[in-house]
């Protein structure tokens, strides 16, 4: 299973698209960004601008204690800190570049 995220300005113009495994859910939860990414509708997140500060905080938390976050690495290798952190950084950059883009996900 995986999570697809999309930033859209005007349908069907997608300005950013990325995919990541659901195996990173526990790591995202520990970083405080699980709901933001996997359940945005539950917390009212609809636009890229709403992701910027929480992503910055989650990334900072992950960078401050990498060994802790690596404990959430998937044993099968599908869902690793070393892949998730750059994925989050790219998503943050996309949100900063297109803050008015609609945020949509597919689980």
- Give pLDDT tens digits for 2-57: 899 888 766 668 889 999 999 999 999 999 999 999 999 999 999 999 999 999 99
Using an 8 Å Cβ cutoff, are 24 and 81 in contact? no
Please check the confidence at residue 72 and state whether its pLDDT lies above 90. Answer: yes
Calculate ∠ Cα 14-19-21, nearest 5°.
160
| Sheet arrangement for strand 14-21 | 14-21, 2-8, 102-106
Token pair for 98: 């297109």
19 forms beta bridges with 4
Using an 8 Å Cβ cutoff, are 99 and 48 in contact? yes
Q: How far apart are CA 31 and CA 97, in angstroms?
A: 23
Q: Find the mean pLDDT for residues 92-100.
A: 96
């Amino acid at each position: 299973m995986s999570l697809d995220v999309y930033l859209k300005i005007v349908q069907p113009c997608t300005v950013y698209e990325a995919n990541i495994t659901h195996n990173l859910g526990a790591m995202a939860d520990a970083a405080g960004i699980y709901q933001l990414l996997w359940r945005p509708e539950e917390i009212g997140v609809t636009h890229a601008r709403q992701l910027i500060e929480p992503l910055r905080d989650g990334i900072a938390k992950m960078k401050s204690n990498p060994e802790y976050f690596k404990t959430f690495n998937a044993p099968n290798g599908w869902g690793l800190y070393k892949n998730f952190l750059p994925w989050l950084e790219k998503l943050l950059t996309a949100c900063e570049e297109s803050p008015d883009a609609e945020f949509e996900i597919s689980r």
